[in-house]
Every structure is written in structure tokens, then in C-alpha cells.
Amino acid sequence: MIEVENLTRIFRTYKKKPGFWGGVKGLFHRDFEELAAAKDISFSIAEGEFVGFLGPNGAGKTTTLKMLSGLIYPTSGRATVAGYNPSKRETAYRRLFALVMGQKNQLWWDLPAQESFLLLRHIYGLPAAQYKETLDELVTLLGVSEKLNVMVRELSLGERMKMELIAALLHRPRVLFLDEPTIGLDVVSQKAVRSFLREHNRKHRTTILLTSHYMADIQALCDRVIVIDKGRKIYDGGLDRLESVGGRKKIIKFRPESLPFPALADLGEGRSTTADDGEITLQVPSDQVVAVSQRILAAGPVADITIEDVPLEDLIAALFGRA
């Protein structure tokens, strides 16, 4: 469904010197700086896949989504979505995808969401029966039937994002680009949006490319992730393989009955942290978990001990460090 080959986008920015005279000098001589927001990115996504697109701020995630949407042109490289070249911005292509950006709105703030939905129905030329069927399905799944006649500006952030998703999916796109759709939402709203996206992908086999800084979104929705840093792809594979890329490690947390607790310096990798409540955290290689746990229990009385996987955020941070 999506084919990207050596996609590159370079931005050329003017470096203004400070002060009034810096602006005057800029009238006669200007210094420019080139920044590669995306550099030689290549990947392919099959129809119906739900793929996480990860990276730190400024890594090039949104730039890549904008190139796939036809909003900006690539400097070099090639991209096709469902056989279309996004840069040509063909009408047929614009009918088969949707882009939802968590920090930007497509709904009219001073009108109820239902009015914007009617406008989109006419823009896409949707038959009345299809429009009603799709709208009823989306409204029911997201539980916002009582909010359709409320002005968008009066909706909560979570309700507004649900309306944005409805607006994006009214024309039944085959491809959905999601850029931070849960940003700023409370835990309940995040869970509702995740549940909706999972069900929509399962039912309609919509190809979805999701960027998010909430690892709960990625773990709940995506079996595969693409990680980029400084414009370059540094990982493409399953979440289950990400653990081995970041290093097979476990976290041991225990609370001794008294402090200081002996023999911490040479446990595992020698890294430990102690919380205010006395809980001690160690990160150790997976093959040393049993041995380290035995040493902890033998070193002194322990009130509680747990063994956890290293959080996905930490594994991805380790990838950024290696990149």
C-alpha cells in the first residue's frame, strides 16, 4: 500500500544575525543553513498494517507524513501510496487517504461538528445513505452522539479529537496518517481512541501509520514500528524484536526492610536508584536476573521484590543514543 524509497527533504533556512544592523546586513548578504528533516528513508507497508512511526521531536516524522500526504514535496527519492504519487496531488489520491494531526484542527470552531461533517459530505460527494451509515457507525463507536450539535469550541479536548477522527474517516479512506492523535488527552480519552482505532483497523483493514510519544499507544495498537532519528531510519521491525535491539535487560525493584542495604555496588551492571520510599531499582541483563535476585534475598531482609521488562521508552531512547 505504501512504498517509500530514499525519501529526502532538505529545508533551507535563513540565519539572521541579531539586532537592527544584523537585519540591515541581511538585505545585502544572507547566510543560509540546510537541514535534512528526512534523509534517505525507505520502507514499505502492506494493506491493513498498523505501523508505529517513532522518533524524538525534530526527527522528521511529521515531515514524512506531510510528504506522503502531498502537502510538501520531497527534495529527492520516491514515494507511492496505493500506486499514486502523492506529489501530484491527484483528486483520486486525495479521496483515498486522510491525515489527522493532534495539534491542528479541520473542524470549524464556531459551528457544531455536524455542520462540518455535512460540508465534508459534499466535498467528497458522498451519497446520503453511505454518509448516514458511516456517520452512525463512527458516532456509536466513539460515543459522541449527544455532542454532534455542540459547537466545537465548547467540546473537551478528548471530544474534539473524536470529532476529528470522524471527519477524517467519513469518506472511508484506505490509508490513515495519524500524527499524535492522543496528545494532551486524559487516560480515559486515550483508551477510548485506542479502542476505536483498533476496531476500525480490524473491521475495515485500513492501512494506518501512527506517530505518538505515548508508548501505550504503540504497544496497544502496533505490531511493527519504524524508528527514525535526525531524519534517518534506525529501526524497522516488530515490537518483540525491539527488546533485543535495545539489549535484553530486566528491571528488578525491591524494598528492603532497612537501609542502607549491603552489596549493591556489584549487582548486575552496578547501576541502582533509591526512591524516597526506600524502593531500590536495578537494571540487569536478563540472563542474570535469577542470580541477582538470589543475592538480593541472601544479602538482607526484603519486604517486597518485583521483576519487570525494561519500558519501551527506554529501549527506544537507547536506540537514539546508538544512532
**What CA–CA distance (Å, rounded) separates 14 from 26?**
9
Cβ neighbours for 152, distance < 8 A, ≥ 6 positions apart: 105, 107, 108, 109, 110, 111, 112, 113, 116, 160, 163
pLDDT in tens, the chain (323 residues): 999 999 999 988 878 888 888 788 878 888 888 888 888 999 999 999 999 998 887 788 889 999 999 999 999 999 999 999 999 999 999 999 999 987 778 888 889 999 999 999 999 999 999 999 999 999 988 888 888 899 989 988 888 889 999 999 999 999 999 988 888 788 888 888 889 999 999 999 999 999 888 888 888 889 899 988 888 888 888 877 776 655 577 888 888 877 666 655 556 554 556 666 677 888 887 778 888 888 888 877 888 888 877 777 677 777 666 55
Q: Which three cell numbers stand for residue 233?
A: 531510519
Predicted TM-score (pTM) of this structure: 0.78
Strand partners, 10: 36
Q: Which fold has domain 248-322?
A: Alpha-Beta Plaits (3.30.70)
- Give me the residue spans of the domains in the chain: 2-243, 248-322
Which three cell numbers mark 32? Answer: 543560509
Q: What region does 129 belong to: left with phi over 0, alpha with psi -120 to 50, or beta?
A: alpha
Give CATH for domain 2-243: 3.40.50.300
